[in-house]
């Protein structure tokens, strides 16, 4: 597993484990759930098709979002059962499962969410690695119950985990779990009234609206046309990583590298340099990536995709589900310095942010007959930035996340691209990258992240902030 938040402070490595599984009656109700006419979202369909392809090759897929945090005292299993069950009943993405009929992905929907009932199962004493293996054993996305919750109890406290297949979650699940499991559990065990949780949007409404909107798209649609032009500028496919990866194919077993790029003071100075250039942190990081490619590969043009949420309302940010698109970014680098590149990257990101609502899978469907477009949107490179102090829907939860020593992981598996994640916390700015697990790619990634770090530190060192702000 790879740690996206790079934080392990104070976590013991043993305890008494308990895992929550759906009751047999819940599983049976899901098995006989009626068919719905609503297709999966594009995010879900891509995920299911990718999993099916990996499974046919007997390959593991990086598909799980695993969230851990710490709680004090002895776990009240009855209360934890209640809050976990309530979370699953509240969000309708968990009420669906998908049947693979070869030529179609068919949705089944539980008739009554109250038929979901989780039950605690004691597993006895085990180490942290064995316990995490329980998370890794979460059922596949074609199974209804592709989610697991558990605890590892120690004398003075316990670690909680939630392991949810990407089919039902993106990183917005972190504040949901802090509110609906952590905070709800604390409210009940501290003797308070049950926590009042604001209403959330329905994920099936999101799927419906996405399918209705994208069904009307044509090649003449401005968003589709802009995506096609971007792909054509990249030889008909997603942007390529600038250094050798040792493979000629799109899929590979992933390895990971993590690095602390800047400490708290350095991150604040870097943020100031971005602000002084008319950019935010993302724009500054894109500029550093462009300068890194220019330094290592002599590239005069930078190209990448960056993920962005497609949630549009407070209710949507309180909704479990996968609501993410990608934004295409490309611009000339030439001999331009950081301030100009950061401002350019920020402007292009903001101008193209609406393209996240145009699924790349739909673009490829429409462009299938164009000879200049490759048929599969795999490979390439993605750059992502998250500010852990700005969790969506509730800024207060960012402080809670630090207090409970929150951590997020993905499971190791096959990858179809180089992915670079940047996370800013109170500790500073950290990087994690996934890449093909071979020596050529490892050498390339080592050179890449070292150059990236040097450039970020140069930018931060040249900045003399009169004030420190977060952007």
pLDDT band at 468; cut points 50, 70, 90: very low
pLDDT tops 60 at residue 465: no
Give the Cα separation of 165 and 169 in Å (integer).
7
pLDDT band at 248; cut points 50, 70, 90: low
pLDDT digits (tens, 9 = 90+) for 416-432: 678 999 999 888 999 99
CB neighbour burial string for 158-176, b if at least 16 within 10 angstroms, e if fewer: bbbbbbbbbbbbbbbbbbb
Comparison of pLDDT for 369 and 416, the residue scoring more: 369
* pLDDT recorded at residue 17: 94
Q: Domains along the chain?
A: 2-206 (3.30.559.10), 218-461 (3.30.559.30)
pLDDT tops 80 at residue 132: no
* pLDDT recorded at residue 379: 61
* pLDDT recorded at residue 254: 82
pLDDT digits (tens, 9 = 90+) for 325-350: 999 999 999 889 999 999 999 999 99
Q: At what angle do helices 264-276 and 338-352 cross, to 10 degrees?
A: 80
* pLDDT recorded at residue 273: 97
pLDDT tops 80 at residue 388: no
pLDDT tops 50 at residue 81: yes
In the three-class reduction of DSSP (H, G, I as helix; E, B as strand; rest coil), residue 90 is classed as helix
Q: What is the dihedral sign for C-alpha 263, 264, 266, 271?
A: positive
pLDDT tops 70 at residue 236: yes
Three-state secondary structure readout of 172-232: CHHHHHHHHHHHHHHHHHCCCCCCCCCCCCCHHHHHHHHHHHHHCCCCCCHHHHHHHHHHH
Segment holding 136, helix H or strand E: helix 128-136
Question: Mean of the pLDDT values across residues 121-132?
Answer: 87
Comparison of pLDDT for 255 and 460, the residue scoring more: 460
pLDDT tops 60 at residue 6: no
Specify whether the CB–CB gap between 436 and 415 falls below 8 A: yes
Question: Mean of the pLDDT values across residues 429-443?
Answer: 90
pLDDT digits (tens, 9 = 90+) for 48-66: 998 998 888 888 888 999 9
Segment holding 48, helix H or strand E: helix 42-56
* pLDDT recorded at residue 378: 56
Give the Cα separation of 111 and 317 in Å (integer).
25
Does this model's pTM top 0.85?
A: yes
What Å distances lie between residue 19 and 94, 162, 187, CA to CA?
Answer: 18, 10, 22
pLDDT band at 469; cut points 50, 70, 90: very low
* pLDDT recorded at residue 61: 86
Segment holding 280, helix H or strand E: none
* pLDDT recorded at residue 29: 97
Residues 6+ away with beta carbon under 8 Å from 416: 50, 250, 251, 252, 378, 379
């Amino acid at each position: 597993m790879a740690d996206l938040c790079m934080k392990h402070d104070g976590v013991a490595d043993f305890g008494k484990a308990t895992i929550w599984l759906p009751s047999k009656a819940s599983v049976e109700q899901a098995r006989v759930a009626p068919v719905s006419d609503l297709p999966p979202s594009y995010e879900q369909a891509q995920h299911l098709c990718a999993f099916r392809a990996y499974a046919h090759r007997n390959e593991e897929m990086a598909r799980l979002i695993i969230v851990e945090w710490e709680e004090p005292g002895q776990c009240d299993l009855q209360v934890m059962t209640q809050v976990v069950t309530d979370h699953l009943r509240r969000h309708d993405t968990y009420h669906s499962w998908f049947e693979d009929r070869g030529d179609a992905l068919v949705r089944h929907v539980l008739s009554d969410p109250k038929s979901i009932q989780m039950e605690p199962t004691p597993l006895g004493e085990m180490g942290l690695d064995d316990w995490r293996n329980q998370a890794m054993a979460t059922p596949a996305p074609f199974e209804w119950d592709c989610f697991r919750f558990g605890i590892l109890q120690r004398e003075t406290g316990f670690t909680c985990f939630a392991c949810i297949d990407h089919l039902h979650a993106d990183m917005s699940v972190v504040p949901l779990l802090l509110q609906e499991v952590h905070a709800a559990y604390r409210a009940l065990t501290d003797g308070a009234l049950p926590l009042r949780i604001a209403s959330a949007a329905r994920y099936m409404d999101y799927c419906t609206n996405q399918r209705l909107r994208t069904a009307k798209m044509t090649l003449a649609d401005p968003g589709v046309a802009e995506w096609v032009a971007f792909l054509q500028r990249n030889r008909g496919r997603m942007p390529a990583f600038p250094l050798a990866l040792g493979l000629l194919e799109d899929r590979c077993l992933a390895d990971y590298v993590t690095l602390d790029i800047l400490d708290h003071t350095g991150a604040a100075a870097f943020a100031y340099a971005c602000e002084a250039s008319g950019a935010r942190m993302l724009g500054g990081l894109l500029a550093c990536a462009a300068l890194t490619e220019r330094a290592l590969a002599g590239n005069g043009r930078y190209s990448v995709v960056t993920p962005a949420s497609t949630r549009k309302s407070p209710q949507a940010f309180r909704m479990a589900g996968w609501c993410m698109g990608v934004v295409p970014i490309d611009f000339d680098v030439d001999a331009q310095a950081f301030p100009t590149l950061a401002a350019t990257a920020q402007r292009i990101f903001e101008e193209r942010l609406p393209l996240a609502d145009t699924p790349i899978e739909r673009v490829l469907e429409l462009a299938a007959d164009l000879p200049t477009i490759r048929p599969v949107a795999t490979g390439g490179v993605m750059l992502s930035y998250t500010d852990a102090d700005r969790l969506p829907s509730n800024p207060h939860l960012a402080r809670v996340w630090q207090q409970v020593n929150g951590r997020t992981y993905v499971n190791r598996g096959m990858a179809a691209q180089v992915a670079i994640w940047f996370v800013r916390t109170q500790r500073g700015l950290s990087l994690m990258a996934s890449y093909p697990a071979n020596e050529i790619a490892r050498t390339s990634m080592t050179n890449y992240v070292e150059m990236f770090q040097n450039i970020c530190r140069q930018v931060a060192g040249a900045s003399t902030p009169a004030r420190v702000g977060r952007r």
